[in-house]
Chains A and B, each alone.
Chain A
Amino acid sequence: MSRFYLGLSTSGHDPALALIDEDGRIRFAEATERFLQDKRAWGAAPDLVGHLESALAAVGFDRSADQVVVSTSWARVKAALPVSISNAMLPVSDGLWLRGLQAHAQASAGDSLLRLGLAETRPEVRHFDHHLSHAAAACSSAPFADGLCLVIDGEGDVGAASLFRLREGRLGRVWRSWGPGSLGSYYAWLTGLCGFDWRAGEEWKVMGLAAFGTPDERLVNALESMLDIVDGRPRLPEQAVIDAAVARAKPYGRGPRDPIERAADLAASGQAAYARLVDRILESCAGLGERNLVLSGGCALNSSYNGTIRGRFGFDQVHVPSAPADDGNALGAALLSWMQDHPERPAVAGLGSPFLGSRADPKVIDGAVANCGYSQVTRAGGEAGLAILAERLAAGKIIGVMRGAAEFGPRALGHRSILADPRPHDMKDRLNQRVKGREPYRPFAPVVPADRVGDWFDRPQPSPYMSFTLPWKAEVRDRVPAVVHADGTGRLQTVDASSDPWMSGLLSAFEARTGVPIVLNTSFNVMGKPIVHSVQDAMAVLATTGLDGVLLEDVLIEKAA
């Protein structure tokens, strides 16, 4: 008999599940949006029957002998306390909606075990603090065992920021903020004023657009005043201060149908204000004398800011996990549950692999090969396969890749990616027009060999999960224009042969043909849809877009040239 620890992200948005085995090994983790093919999967159960069933199958769960222990990523139901919802940044209606979703997710967590015949009564469920769940998940993949862990997000069990100290892999809370002062809510509000929708996860667009604008000093000051930072804790100032800032910012805003560039200066100013606010939190941490920082919570997806931290505030190393937002909390809840039962065992310290999700079904790959009707099917693994793929990319082909276990977190890191040549000036437009359908102001990302980052970027540092945006060296920007953003930066993924031999080999093969060891990597999806989950999803993108081919494990299916 074995015991599996099932962690569930129960925020009501970005549901996810994770499974850890009796030995503390992370065996599976995946966001529900992938399974449902519905972005952010608002309101969906994190233990959705079909998804949980497939996850249990993937880890070899034996229903006749094994047990499941269920845990959630919140200590309590937020709506259970009679706390009025702040309307300082977001409308009360949004807050009420979120609370309702969270209450439902918390209340029904684990019920799918009844449907699957794995429980006869509603299972006992363990509940863990939201920010502690973030921290546990983030620290399990950190390349160090001591340091600080800062969690900043929209909201947690009592506030929107927590600081933990990591000692030999164990977490202890230093402080947590209370009340509605929230960097996440601030950024969501900013997203709305820029004419985008935070509920659709469009904070990315603000970050992308910021590169086209110029921060307006007086606007930055006003936006910064929307939050006080008191001993590191974000707090709301007096309402009059917020009202004055909103009044100053409003003329810079744009309606959803206005030209995008209208909001560029607002986006740049809002991002600059965000940076100043988080700087002030980190300044308050500097006195604690730690050299390593783990950053998590939804705000840790702000790769533009993340790339500026290392070397400041006394931090030599900065780690951001592959899934810092609420989907990652499924893993945190599972880890905390396992640790609760194994207090004497060392804390879980993974190898940091983000490849924790579903795998392509080989039978469906065979079915695609037999029935797809595309003219070119090539089976080639190893060096030969890499050489063929590198040759296609160098010839300008755009190829979708589905190999191995899916990434846990929002970034495609080579297992569910669309790859292309970063050298042509028109590659970005071609990708957008033929495949992605994305707005032209949003950048595409590069994959770079970890040991060569310093040849291409200023402030070089590891970025295995595309968590950091860094400035390209001025002299190399013309060599890879499709992955250089308007402000000369790139949100890079670094790879090495030990952690990802396939991608590392592809970069070598591509360099052998082109002299450039860099490939463009964007997520394997079309605009508005999550990253592909099944082979059928991948084939649908091939069939309905200008994608030139898909690589399904070692099978390359291509359209006629």
Chain B
Amino acid sequence: MTKPTLAEVTDFLRDHVSQRTKVPPEQILGSTVLVDFGLESIDAVLISGHIEDRFQIEVEPSLMFEYQTLDEVAAAVVALFDKR
């Protein structure tokens, strides 16, 4: 798969965080720490799987725990394409 834009990944993540936490997407800011929205460890695991399926790139299970905010996770996903 071709490298997605940062905005594509951010939007995708925001939707999934919203689905898992029931927080409206417009309230999920890129700079807010994800656990502050109530994102639990199991949510982080499942979202990692969605990232892998949607963007067809192998994700480390530690991804969502190493990076704290939506923006940081999105940037890390995009960076995976640069490392391929």
A326 CB → nearest B CB, Å: 19
> B42–A179 contact, CB under 8 A?
yes
Whole-angstrom CA separation of A80 from B58 in the bound complex: 19
Interface of A is mostly: loop
Contact A76 B61 (CB under 8 A): yes
Interchain CB contact under 8 A, B61 and A158: yes
Cβ distance B55 to chain A, nearest Cβ, rounded Å: 13
Once the chains bind, are B49 and A158 in contact (CB under 8 Å)? Answer: yes
Contact partners of A158 in chain B: CB under 8 A: 45, 48-49, 61
Whole-angstrom distance between the Cβ of A411 and the nearest chain B Cβ: 33
List the B side residues contacting A157 at CB < 8 Å.
Answer: 61
With CB as the reference atom, state the residue of chain A lying closest to B53: A175
| Residues of B contacting A84 in the complex (Cβ-Cβ under 8 angstroms) | 40-42
Residues in chain B near residue A178, CB distance under 8 A: 45-46, 48-49, 52, 61
Taking a contact as CB atoms under 8 Å apart, the answer to whether B49 and A83 are in contact is: no
Taking a contact as CB atoms under 8 Å apart, the answer to whether B45 and A179 are in contact is yes
Smallest Cβ distance from A287 to chain B, in angstroms? 16
Provide the B49-75 mask, 1 if CB < 8 A to any CB of A, else 0.
100110000100110010000000000
Please pick, from B40, B49, B52, B65, the residue contacting A81 in the complex, using a CB distance under 8 A. B65
A177 in contact with B41 (CB, 8 Å) = no
Q: How far is the CB of B84 from chain A (nearest CB, A)?
A: 14
Given contacts A84-B42, A158-B45, contact A176 B52 (CB under 8 A): yes
Cβ of A376 within 8 Å of any chain B Cβ, yes or no, is no
Report the nearest A residue to B40, measured CB to CB.
A84
Chain A residues with CB under 8 A of B61: 76, 81, 83, 157-158, 178
A182 nearest CB across to chain B (Å) = 13
What's the Cα separation between A179 and B40 when bound, in Å? 12
Looking at the complex, which one of B49, B53, B58, B65 makes contact with A179 (CB distance below 8 Å)?
B49
Contact B49 A82 (CB under 8 A): no
Is the Cβ of B45 less than 8 Å from the Cβ of A82? no
Q: How far is the CA of A157 from the CA of B52 in the complex (A)?
A: 14
Q: Is the CB of B62 within 8 A of A81?
A: yes
Cβ contacts under 8 Å, B40 to chain A: 84
Min Cβ gap B63→A in Å is 10
A83–B41 contact, CB under 8 A? yes
Closest approach, in angstroms, between the C-beta of B83 and any C-beta of chain A? 17
Kindly list chain B residues whose C-beta atoms are within 8 Å of the C-beta of A80: 62
B-facing residues in A127-176 (Cβ within 8 Å): 157-159, 173, 175-176
In residues 27-46 of chain B, which contact A (Cβ within 8 Å)?
40-42, 44-46
Q: How far is the CB of B77 from chain A (nearest CB, A)?
A: 15
Q: Which of A82, A84, A158 has the most CB of B within 10 A?
A: A158
Find out whether the CB atom of A82 lies under 8 angstroms from the CB atom of B42: no
Chain A 234-253 interface 0/1 with B at a Cβ cutoff of 8 Å (1 = within): 01000000000000000000
Across the two chains, which residue of chain A brings its CB closest to B61? A158
A76 to B58, CA, bound (A): 15
Bound Cα distance A159, B48 (Å): 11
- 9 tightest Cβ-Cβ pairs between the two chains A and B: A178-B49, A83-B41, A179-B46, A158-B61, A179-B45, A84-B41, A178-B45, A82-B41, A178-B48
Residues of A within 8 A of B (CB): 76, 80-84, 86, 157-159, 173, 175-180, 231, 233, 235
With A80-B62, A175-B53, A235-B46 known, 7 other A-B pairs at CB within 8 A are: A83-B44, A84-B41, A84-B42, A158-B49, A176-B49, A178-B48, A180-B42
